[in-house]
Structure 1
Amino acid sequence: MGTVVLTMKASVIEMFLVLLVTGIHSNKEMTKKIKRLKFNVPQINCDVKAGKIINPEFIVKCPAGCQDPKYHVYGTDVYASYSSVCGAAVHSGVLDNSGGKILVRKVAGQSGYKGSYSNGVQSLSLPRWRESFIVSESKPQKGVTYPSALTYSSSKSPAAKADLWSTPTYTSSQNRPGANPGVQRQDSSGAAFQKPVGADVSLGEMDFWKPGSVLLDAGFVPKEELSTQSLEPVSLGDPNCKVDLSFLIDGSSSIGKRRFRIQKQFLADIAQALDIGPAGPLMGVVQYGDNPATHFNLRTHTNSRDLKTAIEKITQRGGLANAGRAISFVTKNFFSKANGNRGGSPNVAVVLVDGWPTDKVEEASRLARESGINIFFITIEGAVENEKQYVLEPNFVNKAVCRTNGFYSFHVQSWFGLHKTLQPLVKRVCDTERLACSKTCLNSADIGFVIDGSSSVGTGNFRTVLQFVANLSREFEISDTDTRVGAVQYTYEQRLEFGFDKYSSKADVLNAIKRVGYWSGGTSTGAAISYALEQLFQKSKPNKRKLMILITDGRSYDDVRIPALAAHLKGVITYAVGVAWAAQEELEVIATHPARDHSFFADDFDNLYQYVPRIIRNICTEFNSQPRN
């Protein structure tokens, strides 16, 4: 009996050990299988916005082609949740345009998002948004579980609908659904669904229960998704394209209704591509026919959406194609402070012409250019051979544009090809470094140097003074339509070294300064100022800023007060630079008020060079503080 019992015990123990070993082996095999399972990375489209995804941290796969401008991105490095997830990944450099996997992590909303151009994507600026996200390479962090399927804010799943009623949270005590048990709302298919009696709605920081609102999809819908018209973030504009822009559109009878509609669509597309906003480009539209009329100015619409809506409402005026009259109108009226001109931004006028103008444009365009307006011309379907006899100015484009280098003009064979000029035009209009006719502190003045050549200066010091004059001149954009430079040398007498109309390039001006010969004699500064007013500034163009920069090393033998007052009354802004034995009180009398910004004193000729940046800075500060036109 004992033997049987022992045998049974051994069998039981043996069976237990077999089961134990088998279980351990099975667990190991299961672990191996689990390890062999691949993580399922959800794939999203280029247009998916981070705000639509509820998950706080996730890995996704982006397709190719998300560099397209239609996938809007807001911010740099940290992006507003209204941005395209994949577009932000391309902008940040984590992905290229071929797509791939990325790690996305939600972070707090920012008080401002700065737009920038990076990796082929132009991100937009935004004043603030409630949620942000950052993008990095798809390297999972230890201890973090990433979802294999994303939860979207507009999910139609039963689970999502059940979750909607989970937590009683409100931001507004008014119009609460709980106050009206059984209230019905509609889902996206239009079918009504019943809110459970006594249940409250979890809407986080949103409040959709105002009168007349509709809750879509029975799930959480971001505020920005409910009403694109009223809640879509409005960009502050592209700061890399801060220009004041006027479009002169052809409304003449010859264009026809169909081509006029094409022209309007082109304008709407331009408005969208430019990213209109107060920190970026502003745009107005003038239509011309017999006479020009402003549809809206720079101040009227300050975002692309409103501007496009306004463009759609423009109606054709008819009449002749008097483009020259329209350019004159824009020069005199459009770019004013009252109409929204910002002063420090380049002024640009783009003229669209069907065929050719019915009036002359050369003189009107010249005045526009000299007022600092960058004139662009787009001509469509120009005159054929038997029509050229009707063109008043055969070479009207080159006579009108800012520069005859091809940068400022486009010719389109057919209205149906107009859209091909959109991107090149936007690129050129935003290239502020190449807008050579912009009215700025460096290209809008007539500068007259009044140089003391008296005996006390000496030959060596006189060459130092000329170097100082050359250094100042070198800072300006010099041409016949930009800044012009003239020079007078004086002792007891005065001599015009060269006038404003003598040289039209910087190289020629600098060579002319180098060739000025030292005169020697007394110091009659008052007479020199009067002479400069008559011989230099009397020939200054009416729309030019007039700057006199006088350099002297001693006290004047004659009175400077009356000549200086005459200069101030004639609108000549006077800078007085004294060296060595110059009288400080005389410098302050000569200088335009306030004297501290317009008078300078160097104790030695060799120290003159130090004042170049300060004088240039003061000239530009004063210019930028004044309204244009």
Structure 2
Amino acid sequence: MRTVVLTMKASVIEMFLVLLVTGVHSNKETAKKIKRPKFTVPQINCDVKAGKIINPEFIVKCPAGCQDPKYHVYGTDVYASYSSVCGAAVHSGVLDNSGGKILVRKVAGQSGYKGSYSNGVQSLSLPRWRESFIVLESKPKKGVTYPSALTYSSSKSPVAQADLWSTTTYTSSQNRPGADPGIQRQDPSGAAFQKPVGVDVSLGLVPKEELSTQSLEPVSLGDPNCKIDLSFLIDGSTSIGKRRFRIQKQLLAEVAQALDIGPGGPLMGVVQYGDNPATHFNLKTHMNSRDLKTAIEKITQRGGLSNVGRAISFVTKNFFSKANGNRSGAPNVVVVMVDGWPTDKVEEASRLARESGINIFFITIEGAAENEKQYVVEPNFANKAVCRTNGFYSFHVQSWFGLHKTLQPLVKRVCDTDRLACSKTCLNSADIGFVIDGSSSVGTGNFRTVLQFVTNLTKEFEISDTDTRIGAVQYTYEQRLEFGFDKYSSKPDILSAIKRVGYWSGGTSTGAAINFALEQLFKKSKPNKRKLMILITDGRSYDDVRIPAMAAHLKGVITYAIGVAWAAQEELEVIATHPARDHSFFVDEFDNLYQYVPRIIQNICTEFNSQPRN
């Protein structure tokens, strides 16, 4: 009997286990069948302003065509919430005019917004606004849920609704438009404010009463007085050891804290080098000092040799790109930390970096002892690498334990944008070739006036081997190279050379002169230099200018044509880069040439600033 009972108990237990396993398996199968809902990206129109959307962070899809100036944008990098979301995305370079997905993050309001022209969009200035936003590529953060449908400040649809000011609330019958100097209106947070009559928000004017802000977590926009794009090249070679590598990371963390990282201020990325360089994070990976410090703490040493030259080449080619967060209006800065000395050469790599507009700083720690100097690949490597050899760009530390002393002077110097001499600007990034008509019709006196015009233009540029370089050709029926781009590397030497140019006299073969300049001047131009040809003539050419001008344009030479007296307007327009109205000029008399110096410089700079810097 006892055996039967035990057998029955065992059967019951066995049945219970079977049911339990079957139930678990069934639940797993059910779970497999239940698919998580797919995230739907909301679509908005070009005219939707960030202030209409209540969500503090969201992903949206913009249509094509938001580059149109009717979609107003206010600010640069950090935009007032009165801006078109998609227009700001195009201005910032995150989108092009074909549209696409973007990530929008609301941040605190600012006391001022600076207008600028970028990527075909002219943003406007604004004194202050209650709320701001930044635009990033649509890469969702892990663990963050983004809304599939946006919450708007009005019940109207985002396509049809008017701007933020469309909802009018009158507190009394006296508060009608025209009956009182103020109109009481409602902002998205529910707080009323007065908008004075006659204030036009599109002109960047705002009510005297500041709008109340939405409840948002405070986010630092960074120090606007130190808006730089900074790359730290840290030494990860085996010889540095773990302890000194930690000291190096500590300096990086302290720099990140001192700089006050943010989208409206400095941005910072880190590259570690050994045998080969590798990017730990780029400029847009971490947008505040706290996140950046946390990321720096997680960096591990790579080991290998100390190939600094290879690392500088890597940064020049790869780091400062729009895709990595490089901003066109921010100087590019590289700080290189070296334990001892590099195991490869740095001079050529550094020269190319400087000519690309990168300001190179070197921190060298514990240099070679007397008996070790024979192993140094390139003596005096730091002076060959830095932006200028005036002491501003170099730090030498006797011991790793004294590295922290460089913190304050380093931060002060990298933020001193007025002294960042290698920053790429319209005045220090070109090879400029003057093509000067020396025909008989010009005459000796007028030729000296032309040379003074050339001098006045040249004075406006920063002249050196790594900044703007000047060359000159004089032509009649024949052509003569007065001096090439590599002949003189200082402004005084260039100005003296211009004065020494002798008048030739002869015919006017402008087409042949353009071909000669392409071959003798611009063929020897450096690949990362802007190429500008400034041609001055006083008459119609005896030969055809169309084919030589087309060749110049196809080779990327930006051509300015300046005509005097008997010069043919149609020839000037053919020679000039499109649009001709910005690149061709005409004066009746040689004595009036000087009037065009400011205009030409302005056009050169406007054109430069409208293009990506790197």
Q: TM-score range by the shorter chain?
A: 0.5 to 0.7
Please state how far the C-alpha of 1:158 moved relative to its aligned partner: 48
Deviates more, 1:541-550 or 1:295-304: 295-304
Q: Secondary structure at the match of 1:134?
A: strand
Structure 1, gaps ≥5 residues long: 204-218
| Aligned partners of 1:178 and 1:199 also within 8 Å | no
Distance 1:143 1:500, change over 3 A: closer
How many positions carry a matched residue from both structures?
614
Please state how far the C-alpha of 1:528 moved relative to its aligned partner: 0.6
Distance 1:519 1:234, change over 3 A: same
CA displacement, residues 202-223 of structure 1 (integer Å, 9 cap, x when unaligned): 99xxxxxxxxxxxxxxx99999
Distance 1:46 1:431, change over 3 A: farther
| Aligned partners of 2:345 and 2:378 also within 8 Å | yes
Distance 1:252 1:227, change over 3 A: farther
CA displacement, residues 173-202 of structure 1 (integer Å, 9 cap, x when unaligned): 999999999999999999999999999999
CA displacement, residues 300-354 of structure 1 (integer Å, 9 cap, x when unaligned): 2222222222212211111111111101100111111211222232211110011
Distance 1:317 1:220, change over 3 A: farther
Please state how far the C-alpha of 1:289 moved relative to its aligned partner: 1.1
Deviates more, 1:62-71 or 1:537-546: 62-71
Q: What does residue range 511-530 of structure 1 map to in structure 2 within 5 Å?
A: 511-530=496-515
- The equivalent residue for 1:250 is 235
Please state how far the C-alpha of 1:280 moved relative to its aligned partner: 2.1
Q: Secondary structure at the match of 2:201?
A: coil
Distance 1:606 1:342, change over 3 A: same
Deviates more, 1:446-455 or 1:107-116: 107-116
Percent of aligned positions that are identical: 92
- The equivalent residue for 2:453 is 468
Distance 1:587 1:388, change over 3 A: same
- The equivalent residue for 1:40 is 40
Distance 1:514 1:339, change over 3 A: same
Counterparts of 2:197 and 2:578, CA distance in 1: 77
| Aligned partners of 2:194 and 2:209 also within 8 Å | no
Counterparts of 1:491 and 1:432, CA distance in 2: 45
Distance 1:33 1:382, change over 3 A: closer
- The equivalent residue for 2:76 is 76
Counterparts of 2:345 and 2:598, CA distance in 1: 43
Distance 1:128 1:38, change over 3 A: same
Distance 1:387 1:57, change over 3 A: closer
Deviates more, 1:170-179 or 1:235-244: 170-179
Distance 1:173 1:549, change over 3 A: same
| Aligned partners of 2:171 and 2:184 also within 8 Å | no
Counterparts of 1:424 and 1:512, CA distance in 2: 40
Please state how far the C-alpha of 1:439 moved relative to its aligned partner: 1.6
Counterparts of 1:16 and 1:294, CA distance in 2: 58
Please state how far the C-alpha of 1:293 moved relative to its aligned partner: 0.5
Please state how far the C-alpha of 1:446 moved relative to its aligned partner: 0.7
Deviates more, 1:170-179 or 1:344-353: 170-179
Deviates more, 1:384-393 or 1:53-62: 53-62
| Aligned partners of 2:439 and 2:475 also within 8 Å | yes
| Aligned partners of 1:153 and 1:222 also within 8 Å | no
CA displacement, residues 150-181 of structure 1 (integer Å, 9 cap, x when unaligned): 99999999999999999999999999999999
CA displacement, residues 243-274 of structure 1 (integer Å, 9 cap, x when unaligned): 22111001111212221111111111111212
Deviates more, 1:11-20 or 1:76-85: 11-20
| Aligned partners of 2:153 and 2:188 also within 8 Å | no
| Aligned partners of 1:167 and 1:201 also within 8 Å | no
CA displacement, residues 485-511 of structure 1 (integer Å, 9 cap, x when unaligned): 010111111111111111110011111
Deviates more, 1:74-83 or 1:24-33: 24-33
Counterparts of 1:244 and 1:346, CA distance in 2: 6
Counterparts of 1:334 and 1:21, CA distance in 2: 55
Counterparts of 2:450 and 2:594, CA distance in 1: 9
Counterparts of 2:342 and 2:19, CA distance in 1: 99
| Aligned partners of 1:402 and 1:436 also within 8 Å | yes
Counterparts of 1:309 and 1:20, CA distance in 2: 46
Q: Determine which structure has more spread, i.e. the larger CA radius of gyration.
A: 1
| Aligned partners of 1:94 and 1:135 also within 8 Å | yes
| Aligned partners of 1:548 and 1:575 also within 8 Å | yes
Please state how far the C-alpha of 1:296 moved relative to its aligned partner: 1.1
Counterparts of 1:292 and 1:29, CA distance in 2: 48
| Aligned partners of 1:167 and 1:202 also within 8 Å | no
Among candidates 394, 399, 424, match of residue 439 of structure 1: 424
TM-score when normalising by structure 2: 0.66
Q: Secondary structure at the match of 2:311?
A: helix
- The equivalent residue for 1:58 is 58
Distance 1:273 1:460, change over 3 A: same
| Aligned partners of 1:224 and 1:232 also within 8 Å | no
| Aligned partners of 2:129 and 2:210 also within 8 Å | no
Counterparts of 2:67 and 2:240, CA distance in 1: 36
Counterparts of 1:585 and 1:162, CA distance in 2: 48
| Aligned partners of 1:237 and 1:275 also within 8 Å | yes
Deviates more, 1:112-121 or 1:124-133: 112-121
Distance 1:116 1:269, change over 3 A: farther
Distance 1:313 1:453, change over 3 A: same
| Aligned partners of 1:295 and 1:314 also within 8 Å | yes
Counterparts of 2:197 and 2:451, CA distance in 1: 90
Counterparts of 1:91 and 1:289, CA distance in 2: 38
Please state how far the C-alpha of 1:59 moved relative to its aligned partner: 46
Q: Secondary structure at the match of 1:101?
A: strand
Q: Secondary structure at the match of 1:160?
A: coil
CA displacement, residues 332-380 of structure 1 (integer Å, 9 cap, x when unaligned): 1111121122223221111001111122211211211122211111011
Distance 1:231 1:453, change over 3 A: same
Counterparts of 2:611 and 2:491, CA distance in 1: 26
Distance 1:407 1:44, change over 3 A: farther
Q: Secondary structure at the match of 2:481?
A: strand
Q: Secondary structure at the match of 1:487?
A: strand
Counterparts of 1:16 and 1:329, CA distance in 2: 66
Counterparts of 1:21 and 1:287, CA distance in 2: 53
Deviates more, 1:393-402 or 1:444-453: 393-402
| Aligned partners of 1:126 and 1:233 also within 8 Å | no
Deviates more, 1:472-481 or 1:400-409: 400-409
Distance 1:220 1:310, change over 3 A: farther
Distance 1:43 1:296, change over 3 A: closer
| Aligned partners of 1:52 and 1:222 also within 8 Å | no
Please state how far the C-alpha of 1:278 moved relative to its aligned partner: 2.3
- The equivalent residue for 1:120 is 120
Q: Secondary structure at the match of 2:32?
A: helix
Please state how far the C-alpha of 1:16 moved relative to its aligned partner: 105
Please state how far the C-alpha of 1:237 moved relative to its aligned partner: 2.4
| Aligned partners of 2:455 and 2:498 also within 8 Å | yes
Deviates more, 1:258-267 or 1:131-140: 131-140
| Aligned partners of 1:443 and 1:483 also within 8 Å | yes
CA displacement, residues 262-298 of structure 1 (integer Å, 9 cap, x when unaligned): 1111111111212222232221110111110011111
| Aligned partners of 2:51 and 2:164 also within 8 Å | no
Deviates more, 1:361-370 or 1:559-568: 361-370
Q: Secondary structure at the match of 1:179?
A: coil
Deviates more, 1:382-391 or 1:242-251: 382-391
| Aligned partners of 2:174 and 2:180 also within 8 Å | no
Counterparts of 2:493 and 2:367, CA distance in 1: 38
Deviates more, 1:402-411 or 1:156-165: 156-165
TM-score when normalising by structure 1: 0.65
| Aligned partners of 1:178 and 1:200 also within 8 Å | no
Distance 1:11 1:95, change over 3 A: farther
